[in-house]
Amino acid sequence: MGVIQQIKLLIIGESGAGKSSILLRFIDDSFSHSFITTIGIDFKIKTVEIDGKLIKLQIWDTAGQERFRNITNAYYRGAMGIFIVYDVTDRKSFESLNEWKRNVEKLSTKDVTVILIGNKCDMESDRKISIEEGRAKANEFNCNFFETSSKNNIGIEEAFLTMAKDIYYRTKASEEDAIQLKKENVITLSNEKSTKTSGCC
Amino acid sequence: MLRASKSSSSTNSLCGDSPLDRKKKLLASPQRPAWNSSTSKHQLNSKIPYKLQKSQTIEQTKVIKKAPGKVPTTPKCTNQTNKYFLNIDIPKEAVREENLISSIKTSQSHEELKKIPIKYYGGDQNFTRLPVTPKRRVFSLASSSVSSHSTTFSPLNCLNSCNTASEQIIFASFSNPVPSATSLVLAQKYESVLTKRNLSDRELKDSLKIIRKMILQDGIPTLLMEKENMAVCTLRGKIWKILLGVYKVNAKEYTDLVEKKESENFDKIKNDCFRTLKTDKNFLFKVDFDMISRVLNAFVWKTKNQPVSRLINLKYSYVQGMNVLAAPFLYVMPELDAFYSFTNFIQSNCPLYVQPALEGVHCGLKLLDKCLKVVDLELYKYLKNKKLNASIYAFPSIMTFSACTSPLSEVLKIWDFLLAYGFHLNILCVISQLILIRDKILVSDSPMKILRTLPDLNAKLILRVTLNLIPQLSEDLYDMLVRHLFDPMIYDVIINDSKE
């Protein structure tokens, strides 16, 4: 039975949308006002449990500015799930979503799971993007949608778990299919699936 | 103590060149190819990189291009070739010459590192003190009309920037009844070199050489009053300006640039500026975020209107990370001075680091891997097994020349050294930081946890280790180190090399 040891996730979105804060909240359950810009790329690891199975999430946090695109672009391919983050108080970050989506389509594997995240939803007074508008965008992208707040810890764990489960079940299903296929064709290959290495760290 | 005879024979008369002078000479070389993205690699390769010692230089380039897999074999250059071909051996020679510490094996543990005699970075009680030359010029105290806050830019700041340390010493002794005697003596010593009237090129170069040496031996003291007053250029600021070749500033030009309002990149600048070194209280106290955004915005305007040099085709604009690079300058000198120092620094010290595609940074990261492999194979292999390479863990340190690591006070000391001996040494400084925590890394299952936020800098320790790394690198590797900051040719060599 194929157990996924590791799921690679990627967080993308405009600079200042709060990508690193989301990650910090999910990993360390903390929030820092004094956040410095992400330079290059960073990753953190957290283990979650789904259906009694331990799954290691390796989450890559990227720098938002286009200067770093050619570095971060290299990380799309290995990602099984991608969070596209915008800032609900910043219309520009919302307007750039199409471009991010195009990037995903161009650079990542076809069956990648995408989740749209509208961050900073605690700042109601500064809100520029309504939750409906966000939902509509998610429909357009045909993906899940969450409004989150790293500051008040809203929606973040939920978003990550939804992502992890989606990938877990999808991969499990396709592996079962593959096993089924193998049985039918009576091909005995050396257990290729279990050679998945644990990757970084 | 200067070992004059030895140094003059090995490094010729260039020892005293400011980094800018060295760079100017390099850029002035008329056959340097224009570098632009439309030129194909092939074309680039076929061109002669530098004038001089033609046959040898071309030969050398061929060797490099033909065998990218190997470390290119650079023939031993004569003084003459060195002088022009790379124009960069000076820092190395200077450092090597001064580096008398017997080279230590880097596999030695942290504890053992501590036992190395601190001969050339502070601490040596026996070194001969420089004779303090009498002051020739002392600026009038009247120029120190100190405004209490310089958060709003005032051209007056530039007047204040030429105060001498002697004034600051006076202020310092007023503000603190027991000023640190050693730092005052040291400041005076610096001041005497800075204000010395140099009658010839030779003397000028010697003076610069003395400053470099003092930085290595004693460091630059932080005077008390400098900590509070923002309108005065600190002693460190003055020395930095000299090392960068910023000899005059133009308040009119700067105010004009500031008045141009928002450049095309202003949104980005604003978005990044308020997140600059937010964890450093001293910095927040002294530097306003508006100052950073003004300097960067003015930089965009200035470089936008700059004719693209026909010798070297590099475009400058705002790129993320520049805010961190501008921060140290704003911390040690008034805004106007900081603007010119920053501009000079970017254009003459690390032009390739601020290109949109980050060519310089990528080279730097590859070189870090290469150097680490040489100086600490065990650590290199360990990290490689964990699939960690420099482009993941060292990106911020390389791109910001260590300025992203706290605390700023130690960053300044490292920058003193880098400004004096070359910013390429930052790569070795980052390696030193790794070596200092290698024991921890080697037992960690996920080293990225440690490497994400490197421990607080300890400049003294880091520089001591760095000095010991230098002799372990081959000439060719060191050449690449120096050139990767500004030589587009080296990009292909390094990137191709690392592919194999």
Determine the 3-state secondary structure of B104 from DSSP.
coil
Query: Tell me, what's the pLDDT at B294?
Result: 93
* Of A174 and A191, the one with more pLDDT: A174
Dist. CA A148–CA B225, nearest whole Å? 47
Taking only the tens place, the pLDDT of each residue in B283-295 is 888 888 899 999 9
Residue % of chain B over a pLDDT of 70: 61
The rounded distance, in Å, linking the Cα atoms of B488 and B327 is: 27
Pairing mode, if any, of strands A81-87 and A113-119? parallel
Residue B401 is predicted with a pLDDT of 94
pLDDT of residue B170: 34
B243-256 pLDDT, tens digit each: 998 888 899 999 99
| For residue B195, pLDDT beyond 70 | yes
Residue B394 pLDDT > 50, yes or no? yes
CA A15 to chain centre: 16
Partner A contacted by B282 (CB < 8 A):
no
Q: Does A187 touch chain B (CB under 8 A)?
A: no
Residues A164-182: what's their mean pLDDT?
82
Whether residues B395 and A36 touch (CB distance < 8 A) is answered with no
Mean pLDDT check: name the lowest of A98-102, A145-149, B222-226: B222-226
**In the prediction, which pLDDT does B130 show?**
29
Confidence category of residue B312, pLDDT binned at 50, 70, 90: low
Nearest partner of B186 among B239, B143, B243, judged by Cα: B239
Contacts of B268 by beta carbon, 8 Å cutoff, 6+ apart: A15, A65, B318, B320
Which chain B residue lies closest to A33 (C-alpha atoms)? B278
Q: How far is B388 from chain A (nearest CA, A)?
A: 7
Q: Which residues of chain A are within 8 Å of residue B391 when distances are taken between CB atoms?
A: 40-41, 71
pLDDT on residue B342: 95
Q: Which B-chain residues 6-65 have CB contacts (< 8 A) with chain A?
A: none
Q: Which amino acid is at B369?
A: D
Chain A residue with Cα closest to B451? A42
* Residue B131, pLDDT score: 30
CA pair distance B14, A40, nearest whole angstrom: 37
Give me the mean pLDDT over the B362-369 stretch. Answer: 93
The yes/no answer to whether this complex scores an ipTM above 0.85 is no
CA distance B243 to B359: 25
B308 in contact with chain A, both atoms CB, cutoff 8 A? no
Is B357 within 8 Å of chain A by CB?
yes
Percent helix, strand, coil in chain B, to 5, is 60, 0, 40
Note whether A67 contacts B276, CB cutoff 8 Å: no
Q: Average per-residue pLDDT in chain A? A: 85
- Contact status of B404 with chain A (Cβ, < 8 Å): yes
Q: Is pLDDT of A2 > 80?
A: no
Q: How far apart are CA A162 and CA A48, in angstroms?
A: 11
Query: If you write DSSP's letter for every residue of chain A in order, what string do you get?
Result: -PPP-EEEEEEEESTTSSHHHHHHHHHHS---SSPPPP-SEEEEEEEEEETTEEEEEEEEEE--SGGGHHHHGGGTTT-SEEEEEEETT-HHHHHTHHHHHHHHHHHS-TT-EEEEEEE-TT-GGG--S-HHHHHHHHHHHTSEEEE-BTTTTBSHHHHHHHHHHHHHHHHHHHHHHHHHHHHHHT------GGG------
Residues in B touching A199 (Cβ below 8 Å): 387
From CA B409, how far away is CA A130, in angstroms rounded?
45
DSSP assignment, residue B136? Answer: S
Q: What is the pLDDT of residue A83?
A: 96
A31 or B175: which leads in pLDDT: A31
Interval A121-136 mean pLDDT = 94
pLDDT at A69: 82
Total CB pairs under 8 A between chain A and B:
73
Query: Does residue B314 register a pLDDT over 80?
Result: no
What is the Cα B289 distance to its own chain's centre?
Answer: 23
Distances (CA, A) of A78 to A6, A107, A112: 11, 10, 10
Q: Average pLDDT in the A86-100 region?
A: 94
The whole-number pLDDT of residue B225 equals: 66
| Top-confidence residue, B451 or B308 | B451
Is the pLDDT score of B169 beyond 60? no
Q: Distance (Å) from the C-alpha of residue B434 to the closest C-alpha of chain A?
A: 17
For the segment B257-274, the average pLDDT, to the nearest whole number, is: 86
* Residue A179: per-residue pLDDT: 75
- Asked whether residue A93 carries a pLDDT value surpassing 50, the answer given is yes
Query: Minimal Cα–Cα distance from B270 to chain A, Å?
Result: 11
Torsion sign across C-alpha atoms A68, A70, A75, A76: positive
Report the SS3 class of residue B309.
coil
Nearest chain A residue to B323 by CA distance is A37
Q: What is the pLDDT of residue B390?
A: 92
pLDDT band at B90 (very low <50, low <70, confident <90, very high): very low
Residue B224 C-alpha, separation from nearest chain A C-alpha, in angstroms: 28
Residues with Cβ within 8 Å of A126's Cβ and at least 6 positions away in sequence, in order, are A89, A120
What is the model's pLDDT at position B35?
A: 35
Residue A33 has a pLDDT of 72
Interface test with A, best of B37, B266, B269, B271 (most A CBs within 10 A): B271
List the structure tokens of B488: 């587009």
Residue A65: count of CB within 10 angstroms of its CB:
21
**Cα B10 from chain centroid (whole Å):** 23
Is 50 exceeded by the pLDDT of residue B172? Answer: no
Tell me if chain B has a CB within 8 Å of the CB of A65: yes
Contact call for B358 and A39, based on CB within 8 A: no
Among A19-28, B92-101, B389-398, the least confident range: B92-101
Residue (of B362, B388, B382) closest to B480 by Cα position: B362
Per-residue pLDDT, averaged over A59-88, amounts to: 89
* DSSP notation for B36-54: -TTS-HHHHHHS--S-SSH
Provide the pLDDT for residue A23: 94
The residues, ordered by sequence, that sit 6+ positions from B277 with a Cβ below 8 Å of its Cβ are A36, B283, B284, B324, B327, B403, B406, B408
Quote the CA–CA distance of B128 and B214 in Å, as a whole number: 12
- How many angstroms separate the Cα of B218 from the Cα of each of B257, B270, B459? 38, 38, 12
